[in-house]
Structure 1
Amino acid sequence: VHIRLHPNNKGNKRKLLSAHVGDLSSVVVGNSHTSAKQHYKMLVLGGGSGGISMGARMKRMIGAENVAVVEPSEMHYYQPIWTLVGAGAKTAASSGRTTASVMPSGVKWVKSKVQEINPDTSTVRTDDGTELSYEYLIVALGMQLHYEKIKGLPEGFEHPKIGSNYSIQTVEKTWKALQNFKEGNAVFTFPNTPVKCAGAPQKIMYLSDAFLRKTGKREKASIMYNTSLPVLFGIKKYADSLWDIVKRRDLQVNLRQNLIEVRADRQEAVFENLDKPGETKVIEYEMLHVTPPMGPSLVIKGSPLADEAGWLDVNKDTLQHKRYPNVFGIGDCTNLPTAKTGAAVAAQSAILKRTISKVLKNEKPDTRYDGYTSCPLITSYSTVILAEFDYNGEPLETFPFNQAKERRLMYHMKADLMPHLYWHGFLGGLWGGPGPYRKLFHLGMK
């Protein structure tokens, strides 16, 4: 940074030059004004689970003063608990904490939105015009929800009987719709796009079924799950168990059905048959849970960092960018061929830390991410099927028993242990998934 000193301000020279460049956005001396770029050794984009946990890990690796996290939101949410909020088992308030309280201490929090990434000049521009430069970049921008791609939304949420567990604004509407249910169709949807936590759209169906049974309304309800997918769940072992539950509880599953319109004033949902394009079906609902279409972060999509579909183009083993070696990615924004879940982010954070530590020493990354991800499929207010699998869609289970069975123990782990682990372990960069425990439980054989 070049600071031009006004002739009358020589006395300020020593004081000014000792200012820390990382915190220097502009310096005004006498009549002269010089803008200075903020530079960081490690710049993290996004203050979700991936960004905060990597911020904490990088702070320990290279010192807090060398790390900055760019995140505009004042609140940070533990989103996996929203399934239980939508079913009345947890409160929305319990899912959130202030971003200030989870930001690693001493790390610079840039409270802005990322507007543009230019990896060729190693710079990032934020929406207030600030330019940040970096030596290394970690992209953790998550994915975007697109309610607006369904005709009639998001304005349809102003009407009753419709909710969505995918946003803090609409999750309590799901619980309200469930409580006010009298008789008719309860409809649950899965969109024709990649989504985060692919089990969540059906978890709320199982919980709603359990709630209606508990309150004596189940006989007056027709419960249906309309999914764009050709399967109920992508991993056969767990899908088989889920089909058993569906049959036993008389739930109707309609495959290859995609929600294209909501007429909230008339309580009608319009579905397109993906196997017969152009063929649509209108279903009246008494309760509707919408899973929105989702897609890559628009900032990544519009940058040289994206693959053809708009996702961050990273090496699936090391999480290092395929074309820019000083760029890394984690979580839902990447094109890693595994399910987008919080558990996947935790496992990735441990691998990415190892990759970066090698790159900083000019060594070749030596640990490989196996695609581990987990989806605790909540099937009632006291049971969970814990699906865990890898890149190949092969079960990669932590416990030495069959996890495709509904278990009460797994429910307590999901509802009580995991949130605690998230706030006190994962966000602090201290939890990298259950890999070491799996080895222990399986006597080193997995």
Structure 2
Amino acid sequence: MLKHDIVIVGAGAGGLAAGASLLRRVPKLDIAVIEPRDFHDYQPGYTFIGAGVFKPQDVRRPMAKVIPRGITWLKTTVRSFQPEDNDLGLENGQRLGYRLLIVATGNRLDFEAIDGLTGTLGCNGVTSNYRYDLAPYTWELVRKLRGGQALFTQPPMPIKCAGAPQKAMYLSASHWEREHVLDSIDVEFHTAAPTLFGVKDYVPALEETVERYGIDVRFGSTLIAVDGPDGTATFRADGGEVTRAFDMMHVTPPQKPVEAVADSSLADAAGYVDVDQFTLQHKLFPNVFALGDIGGMPNAKTAAAVRKQAPVVAENALAVLAGKHLGAAYDGYGSCPLTVENGKILLAEFGYGGRLLPSFPKFVIDGTKPSRLAWLLKKDLLPAIYWDAMLKGREWMAAPAELKKAG
């Protein structure tokens, strides 16, 4: 049986950031990462592709170039987890043992859960910025639409980047406003949530944005079926079903945990990895950690959250290997730069319990109000921080809190 000291499952933002943080602390560690994909994407950039701000090539790099030097890349998939035996089952039937496991698989986009959706994605005016190959179609639809009905959807939580459905809508409306066609387009936002955003401090600015664009918000409305050729979408709302016509529809898919995780003893009741929300250590298996979208922590599932989680996992994982007490804590930080127009962003930053955790003084960026500076941060600085700092173990403004101070 193959074996490595540390096995990381997934080379998305969480897996690569954790691996880089570990190597920054102990350069000679024996680490393997399991990842079947050939490319790594800066997923927060998908929204900007859908708005014509980024090109697809701006957010994609070959996987071989972003996996930290010194980490063994196993280009395969995990089929099963056996934490009781400290090993994994791989796609080719082999077993892989470990001393310590870090689960960073991400979650799964469940387009199939919506009847008729998969057959019409990328055509008939149906798109989604949640997929790299579809984001350019979003921009094509936005540019071509001069009148009619535009629908935007948000499914029940949890989803990655809960602000992304609104970002797509606001950037589209901003373009139509600039093109002087917004008055000819009826924009509807169908969201399963009861409010525009889960942290109340940011809601007033979002309500002003909705009013500015004349958006009809339908709370408690969940997409259940799409008929692309007919140009209709069916929603479950108020105990019944409502069908709406559309000329363009941006769909945010329901999301769920990766099947191999959900079917294992690592999973909590919802199928995500059952970890302590502060230490990110599994509640039953002390040599298992998780971060990113697959973690069962009650935080926002964003790349910004991963940036803060990776150093915590690195420090606590090394403590386990050394037989020491855990000393690092994650405070639930997440950031959701809500793009309310082309050129301005509401920089939402918050932690557990909705506590505001701003990175900058109010006189620099007031996160509760749209800001041009926040737009420049999101468009120009954050991608560079992602590629050149976060994925390389440079933890600028991401130092973990001490465990005794958490909570």
TM-score, scaled relative to structure 2: 0.95
Decide which of 337, 342, 349 is 2:303's aligned counterpart.
342
| 2:325 paired with 1:325 | no
| 2:265 paired with 1:304 | yes
Equivalent residue, structure 2, for 1:140: 104
Q: Give the aligned residue type for 1:251.
A: I
Describe the shift of the 1:189–1:313 C-alpha distance in structure 2 as closer, same or farther (beyond 3 A). same
The offset of 1:63, in angstroms, is 4.0
| 2:60 paired with 1:96 | yes
Equivalent residue, structure 1, for 2:2: 38
Equivalent residue, structure 2, for 1:248: 212
The offset of 1:367, in angstroms, is 2.2
Decide which of 254, 263, 270 is 2:234's aligned counterpart.
270
Q: Relative to structure 2, which stretch is displaced further, 135-144 or 354-363? A: 354-363
Matches of 2:297 and 2:139, distance apart in 1 = 33
The offset of 1:419, in angstroms, is 0.5
Q: Secondary structure at the residue paired with 2:176?
A: helix
Q: Give the aligned residue type for 2:351.
A: D
- The superposition leaves residues 166-216 of structure 1 with CA deviations (integer Å, 9 ceiling, x where unpaired) of 011211111111112121111100012310000000011110111111122
Q: Which has the higher contact order (CA 8 A, sep 6+)?
A: 2
- The superposition leaves residues 41-84 of structure 1 with CA deviations (integer Å, 9 ceiling, x where unpaired) of 00000000110111222233444561100000000000001111
Which runs of structure 2 are paired with 1:134-173 in the superposition (5 Å)? 134-173=98-137
Equivalent residue, structure 2, for 1:112: 76
Question: CA contact under 8 A between 1:260 and 1:270: conserved in structure 2?
Answer: yes
| 2:387 paired with 1:426 | no
Matches of 1:146 and 1:135, distance apart in 2 = 33
Decide which of 39, 59, 62 is 1:75's aligned counterpart.
39
Describe the shift of the 1:432–1:312 C-alpha distance in structure 2 as closer, same or farther (beyond 3 A). farther
Same amino acid, percent of matched pairs: 36
- The superposition leaves residues 290-331 of structure 1 with CA deviations (integer Å, 9 ceiling, x where unpaired) of 000001111100111001110000011101100001111111
| 2:334 paired with 1:370 | no
Tell me how many residue pairs correspond in the alignment. 398
Decide which of 132, 137, 153 is 1:189's aligned counterpart.
153
Decide which of 388, 392, 395 is 2:356's aligned counterpart.
395
Question: CA contact under 8 A between 2:335 and 2:347: conserved in structure 1?
Answer: yes
The offset of 1:240, in angstroms, is 1.5
Q: Give the aligned residue type for 1:365.
A: L
Question: CA contact under 8 A between 2:100 and 2:317: conserved in structure 1?
Answer: no
| 2:176 paired with 1:212 | yes
Describe the shift of the 1:102–1:64 C-alpha distance in structure 2 as closer, same or farther (beyond 3 A). farther
Q: Give the aligned residue type for 1:311.
A: Y
Matches of 1:415 and 1:385, distance apart in 2 = 13
Question: CA contact under 8 A between 2:311 and 2:398: conserved in structure 1?
Answer: no
Describe the shift of the 1:420–1:183 C-alpha distance in structure 2 as closer, same or farther (beyond 3 A). same
Decide which of 135, 142, 158 is 1:178's aligned counterpart.
142
Matches of 2:377 and 2:24, distance apart in 1 = 29
- The superposition leaves residues 355-375 of structure 1 with CA deviations (integer Å, 9 ceiling, x where unpaired) of 122222212112221101110
| 2:84 paired with 1:123 | no
Matches of 1:119 and 1:333, distance apart in 2 = 16
Describe the shift of the 1:434–1:358 C-alpha distance in structure 2 as closer, same or farther (beyond 3 A). closer
Matches of 2:187 and 2:3, distance apart in 1 = 55
Runs (4 or more) in structure 1 with deviation over 3 Å come to 60-65, 432-436
Which runs of structure 2 are paired with 1:41-52 in the superposition (5 Å)? 41-52=5-16
Unaligned runs of 5+ in 2: 402-407
Q: Give the aligned residue type for 2:326.
A: P
Which runs of structure 2 are paired with 1:402-421 in the superposition (5 Å)? 402-421=366-385
Matches of 1:185 and 1:59, distance apart in 2 = 51
Question: CA contact under 8 A between 2:261 and 2:273: conserved in structure 1?
Answer: yes
The offset of 1:40, in angstroms, is 0.3
Equivalent residue, structure 1, for 2:194: 230
The offset of 1:435, in angstroms, is 6.1
Q: Relative to structure 2, which stretch is displaced further, 423-432 or 309-318? A: 423-432
Equivalent residue, structure 2, for 1:58: 22
Matches of 2:149 and 2:122, distance apart in 1 = 20
Matches of 1:237 and 1:63, distance apart in 2 = 42
Matches of 1:435 and 1:100, distance apart in 2 = 27
Please tell me the root mean square deviation across aligned C-alpha atoms, in Å: 1.5
Q: Give the aligned residue type for 2:82.
A: N
Q: Give the aligned residue type for 2:132.
A: I
Matches of 2:315 and 2:398, distance apart in 1 = 16
Unaligned runs of 5+ in 1: 1-36, 439-446
Question: CA contact under 8 A between 1:82 and 1:165: conserved in structure 2?
Answer: yes
Q: Give the aligned residue type for 1:164.
A: S
Question: CA contact under 8 A between 1:373 and 1:388: conserved in structure 2?
Answer: yes
Q: Give the aligned residue type for 2:295.
A: T
Decide which of 230, 248, 257 is 1:287's aligned counterpart.
248
Describe the shift of the 1:347–1:294 C-alpha distance in structure 2 as closer, same or farther (beyond 3 A). same
Q: Secondary structure at the residue paired with 2:190?
A: strand
Question: CA contact under 8 A between 2:273 and 2:296: conserved in structure 1?
Answer: yes
Q: Secondary structure at the residue paired with 1:420?
A: helix
